[in-house]
């Protein structure tokens, strides 16, 4: 008896010690676990979604791509398929599938480590919500504790809903709603049996069973799930056979390529500054943008198609060394921006040919010389300071010298060799001889023709009369925000600006003097639909409508008669200006119709020449025209509205005076009322040059 009693107390003591130790260990584990009550505020990481102006999804930002779904919106077939393959005893057990757990225990015991799960749906959820993915006995015990707590706190339906919103389906899809949209392009509630069975098979091995990567294996996995569903009585034999006969019917054959990446990145930078990265990537913001997806796709297509042709025509790509021993292909680059001139809303924006190759946004970040595309700002200042469309400008060689304070025109001098010694500066860089294309000059020309054919000397002489400090505020009021230097080369567009600035400035012409700031976000909502931010057009009337109409009328001439002739293929009223810089480094075309304003820039990032005669009219204008033709295909053909305060008069192109009965080729010119000519052109002697040579069709 003494021995038995002693053994009893020894065993009892050991068991008591084990029980106490287990209790203490359990208490330790429980204290280390997060409180289950945090799920009352269950807010998983949600993707921020960007929509175009018509409500179409453009893009998402996320650490986990997820859209919340309620259980009532998850098809019963999907629920049954998931239960059939993941946890057949889900509605019977108290959180732990003992049969599956025992099977996993035996396998793990034999191997001496955790290699098989056997976890119930509730266990998987506890692991996803609270635990790290490593496989250890300690983590498994914590998982069991959390599982029991989950089952005690929530109903089976609530657990199932959290599971469907938390589980990873592969291809960047977290949660069933994101998976349904990525794989089948539809909300989860519209999934059919075949689609439900396929998705239910993904969570255990998302990559191995991915229909994008392994379509045959995905079909085999789907068949396994359908068989399990039939055996459990969820579907009939006929349903199984009929569904197995169906192809995958994926929404796309691979993950979608990014749409409007430069535009989204432009907005992302603004949003991250305002809301922070945590909110932006995990907060499920709904961003409603100004972008029109149809126009955006057209912009990207036309930029890539035309520049690919350009590369082939120029025997490109050429190679450039980027770092020691590294040779990279250098492609010609391009950018396009399109705005609604009435609101400033960005309708399309592409900052390069490939965002994956270069994230540098050439529409908003690249400052380049606009060349002659800057001249309209000079002529706007001229119209506001005594000039008219029929003002006569002498197109002749000129020489300027810098006296240490400013550039001065040397009177009666057409060549720097003619400068008298007392006026000749010591430094050759203090002598400037602006030149026209091909160094040809045409004598007296009308202001209209000077702009239409982009005569450099005429622009310089107008700027010289008005002075750069007077002109710069005009450009700034129109929308140019980049620094501008008050020098004479301002007339030739040597100050660097962005494409977005140029398009915004031309929008002010289109909008009859009302400046609207470009913007891309209409409103921002949280996941519950609460409006966090709402943006409206910011309008400011800065110029009077008659002057703006004169500019539009002059810029129509660039399209109809001048360097922008290619844009006539648009077959509707349009105005615009070409731009080309020295050595054909940059090619521009900024143009507009009553409905849209758009601009195109083409060039190399390293400022390499595009090639001889590769001007704005040759390279950029065709891209603009093709884009605008597609963008406006469904729009009415409208003419530019004529504001009050405008008078039209028939003009003799040889004199700039009112046309007489003898005038040939008279044209209708717009004037600010009261400023039109009063003298008739009765004289037959030719006063101004009207014949501009063919080389100006190249568009400078």
Write the CATH number for 161: 1.10.3810.10
Higher per-residue confidence, 618 vs 154? 618
Whether residue 26 is found in the same domain as residue 163: no
Q: CA 276 → CA 280, 282, 283, 285, 361, distances in Å?
A: 6, 10, 10, 12, 22
Whether residue 11 is found in the same domain as residue 98: no
- Looking at the 3D structure of the chain, how many domains does it have? 2
Q: What's the pLDDT tens digit per position in 426-454? A: 555 677 888 887 788 899 999 999 999 99
pLDDT of residue 1: 61
pTM of full prediction above 0.95? no
What is the arithmetic mean of pLDDT over 235-253?
89
Residue 669 lies in a domain: no
- Find all residues with CB under 8 Å of 98, minimum gap 6, and list them: none
**First and final CA of the chain: distance in angstroms?**
116
What is the arithmetic mean of pLDDT over 166-193?
91
Question: Which among 465, 406, 393, 469 is positioned nearest to 432, based on CA atoms?
Answer: 406
pLDDT of residue 79: 95
Q: Which helix (H) or strand (E) holds 475?
A: helix 468-478
pLDDT band at 122 (very low <50, low <70, confident <90, very high): confident
* pLDDT score of 395 more than 70: yes
Residue 6 lies in a domain: yes
pLDDT band at 327 (very low <50, low <70, confident <90, very high): very low
pLDDT of residue 151: 75
- Find all residues with CB under 8 Å of 320, minimum gap 6, and list them: 327, 328, 330, 606
pLDDT of residue 322: 34
Q: For the CA atoms of 129, 90, 223, 205, what is the dihedral angle to 10 degrees?
A: 20
pLDDT band at 360 (very low <50, low <70, confident <90, very high): very high
Flag the least confident range among 73-87, 428-442, 458-472, 634-648: 428-442
Number of alpha carbons in the 13 Å side-chain half-sphere of residue 13: 6
pLDDT of residue 211: 92
Whether residue 99 is found in the same domain as residue 28: no
- Find all residues with CB under 8 Å of 78, minimum gap 6, and list them: 164, 176, 188, 191, 196, 199, 200
Whether residue 212 is found in the same domain as residue 144: yes
pLDDT of residue 325: 35
Whether residue 88 is found in the same domain as residue 140: yes
The mean predicted confidence, pLDDT, of the chain is 85
pLDDT of residue 431: 78
Q: Which domain holds residue 221?
A: 75-170+197-244
What is the arithmetic mean of pLDDT over 609-638?
95
Percent over 90 (pLDDT), the chain: 60
Residue 130 lies in a domain: yes
Q: What's the pLDDT tens digit per position in 11-28? A: 555 665 555 555 544 454
Flag the least confident range among 179-188, 455-464, 689-698: 689-698
pLDDT of residue 93: 79
3-state helix/strand/coil string of 413-474: CCCHHHCCCCCCCCCHHHEECCCCHHHCCCEEEEHHHHHHCCCHHHHHHHHHHHCHHHHHHH
Q: What's the pLDDT tens digit per position in 492-549? A: 999 999 999 999 999 999 999 999 999 999 999 999 899 999 999 999 999 999 999 9
Whether residue 10 is found in the same domain as residue 87: no
pLDDT of residue 261: 93
Residue by residue, DSSP assigns 244-257 as HTS----SSSSPPP
Cα–Cα distance for residue pair 700/692, rounded to 1 Å? 13
Residue 50 lies in a domain: no
Higher per-residue confidence, 430 vs 372? 372
pLDDT of residue 131: 43
What is the arithmetic mean of pLDDT over 386-406?
86
β-partners of residue 258 are none
* pLDDT score of 336 more than 50: yes
Whether residue 158 is found in the same domain as residue 218: yes
pLDDT of residue 433: 85
pLDDT of residue 413: 62
pLDDT band at 320 (very low <50, low <70, confident <90, very high): very low
Q: Which helix (H) or strand (E) holds 516?
A: strand 514-516
Whether residue 122 is found in the same domain as residue 18: no
Q: What's the pLDDT tens digit per position in 45-69? A: 888 999 999 999 999 887 777 888 9
Q: For the CA atoms of 271, 276, 281, 286, what is the dihedral angle to 10 degrees?
A: -40
Cα–Cα distance for residue pair 645/671, rounded to 1 Å? 9
Whether residue 17 is found in the same domain as residue 129: no
pLDDT of residue 438: 75
Cα–Cα distance for residue pair 520/347, rounded to 1 Å? 8
pLDDT band at 664 (very low <50, low <70, confident <90, very high): confident
pLDDT of residue 95: 60
Flag the least confident range among 660-664, 665-669, 695-699: 695-699
pLDDT band at 115 (very low <50, low <70, confident <90, very high): very low
pLDDT of residue 116: 47
pLDDT of residue 697: 45
Higher per-residue confidence, 270 vs 92? 270
φ and ψ at residue 247, rounded to 5 degrees: -75, 180
Residue 206 lies in a domain: yes
What is the arithmetic mean of pLDDT over 396-412?
74
Cα–Cα distance for residue pair 360/183, rounded to 1 Å? 31
Question: Token pair of 341, please?
Answer: 């001139």
Residue 520 lies in a domain: no
Question: Token pair of 608, please?
Answer: 């390499």
Flag the least confident range among 112-126, 374-388, 498-512: 112-126
pLDDT of residue 66: 81
Whether residue 21 is found in the same domain as residue 79: no
Residue 270 lies in a domain: no
Higher per-residue confidence, 143 vs 652? 652
Number of alpha carbons in the 13 Å side-chain half-sphere of residue 341: 24
Whether residue 121 is found in the same domain as residue 214: yes
Per 3-state DSSP, the chain is made up of helix, strand and coil in percentages (nearest 5) of: 45, 15, 40
Cα–Cα distance for residue pair 138/141, rounded to 1 Å? 5
Residue 535 lies in a domain: no
The answer to whether the CB of 230 falls within 8 A of the CB of 240 is: yes
User: Any idea which residues carry the catalytic annotation?
Assistant: 86, 372
Angle, vertex CA 555, rays to CA 378 and CA 612, nearest 5: 80
Q: What's the pLDDT tens digit per position in 455-485? A: 999 999 999 999 999 999 999 999 999 999 9
Flag the least confident range among 10-14, 399-403, 655-659: 10-14
* pLDDT score of 681 more than 50: yes
Whether residue 147 is found in the same domain as residue 214: yes
Higher per-residue confidence, 337 vs 686? 337
């Amino acid at each position: 008896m003494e021995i038995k009693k002693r053994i009893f107390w020894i065993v009892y003591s050991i068991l008591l010690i084990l029980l106490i130790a287990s209790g203490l260990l359990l208490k330790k584990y429980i204290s280390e676990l997060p409180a289950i009550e945090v799920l009352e505020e269950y807010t998983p990481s949600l993707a921020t979604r960007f929509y175009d102006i018509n409500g179409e999804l453009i893009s998402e930002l996320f650490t986990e791509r997820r859209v919340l779904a309620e259980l009532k919106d998850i098809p019963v077939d999907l629920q049954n398929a998931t239960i059939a393959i993941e946890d057949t005893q889900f509605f019977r057990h108290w959180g732990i599938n003992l049969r599956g757990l025992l099977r996993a225990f035996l396998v793990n015991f034999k191997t001496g480590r955790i290699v098989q799960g056997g976890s119930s749906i509730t266990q998987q959820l506890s692991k996803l919500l609270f635990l790290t993915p490593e496989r250890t006995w300690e983590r498994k015990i914590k998982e069991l504790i959390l599982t029991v707590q989950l089952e005690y706190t929530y109903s089976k339906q609530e657990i199932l809903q959290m599971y469907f919103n938390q589980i990873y389906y592969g291809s960047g899809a977290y949660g069933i709603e994101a998976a349904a949209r990525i794989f089948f392009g539809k909300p989860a509630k519209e999934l059919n049996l075949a689609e439900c069975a396929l998705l239910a098979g993904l969570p255990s091995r998302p990559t191995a069973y991915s229909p994008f990567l392994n379509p045959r294996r995905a079909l085999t996995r789907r068949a396994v799930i359908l068989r399990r569903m039939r055996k459990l009585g969820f579907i009939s034999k006929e349903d199984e056979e009929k569904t197995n006969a169906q192809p995958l019917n994926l929404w796309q054959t691979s993950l979608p390529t990014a749409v409007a990446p430069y535009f989204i990145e432009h907005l992302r930078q603004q949003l991250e500054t305002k809301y922070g990265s945590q909110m932006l990537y995990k907060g499920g913001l709904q961003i409603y943008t100004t972008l029109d997806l149809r126009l955006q796709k057209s912009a990207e297509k036309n930029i890539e198609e035309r520049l690919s042709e350009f590369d082939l025509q120029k025997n490109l790509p050429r190679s450039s060394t980027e770092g020691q021993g590294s040779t990279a292909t250098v492609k010609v680059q391009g950018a396009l921006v399109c705005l609604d001139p009435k609101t400033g809303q960005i309708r399309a924006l592409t900052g390069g040919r490939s965002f994956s190759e270069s994230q540098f946004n050439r529409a908003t970040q690249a400052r380049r010389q606009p060349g002659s595309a800057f001249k309209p700002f000079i002529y706007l200042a001229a119209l506001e300071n005594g000039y008219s469309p029929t003002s006569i400008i002498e197109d002749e060689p000129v020489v300027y010298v810098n006296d240490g304070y400013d550039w001065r025109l040397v009177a009666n001098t057409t060549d720097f060799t003619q400068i008298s010694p007392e006026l000749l500066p010591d430094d050759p860089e203090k002598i400037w001889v602006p030149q026209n294309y091909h160094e040809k000059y045409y004598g007296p020309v009308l202001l209209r023709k000077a702009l239409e054919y982009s005569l450099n000397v005429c622009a310089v002489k107008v700027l010289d009369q008005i002075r750069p400090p007077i002109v710069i505020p005009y450009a700034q009021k129109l929308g140019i925000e980049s620094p501008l230097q008050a020098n004479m080369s301002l007339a030739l567009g040597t100050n660097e600006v962005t494409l977005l600035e140029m398009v915004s400035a031309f929008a002010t012409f289109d909008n009859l003097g009302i400046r609207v700031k470009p913007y891309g976000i209409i409103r921002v909502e949280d996941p519950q639909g609460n409006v966090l931010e709402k943006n409206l057009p910011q309008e400011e009337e800065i110029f009077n409508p008659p002057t703006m109409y004169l500019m539009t009328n002059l810029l129509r001439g660039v399209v109809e008669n001048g360097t922008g002739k290619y844009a006539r293929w648009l077959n509707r009223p349009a105005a615009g200006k070409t731009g080309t810089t020295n050595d054909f480094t940059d090619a521009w075309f900024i143009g507009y119709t009553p409905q849209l304003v758009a601009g195109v820039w083409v060039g190399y990032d390293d400022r390499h020449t595009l090639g001889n005669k590769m001007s704005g009219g040759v390279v950029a204008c065709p891209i603009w025209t093709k884009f605008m033709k597609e963008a406006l295909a469904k729009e009415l053909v409208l003419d530019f509205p004529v504001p009050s305060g405008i008078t039209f008069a028939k003009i003799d192109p040889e004199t700039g005076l009112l046309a007489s009965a003898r005038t040939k080729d008279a044209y209708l010119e717009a004037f600010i009322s009261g400023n039109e000519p009063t003298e008739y052109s009765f004289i037959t002697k030719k006063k101004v040059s009207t014949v501009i040579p063919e080389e100006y069709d190249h568009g400078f």
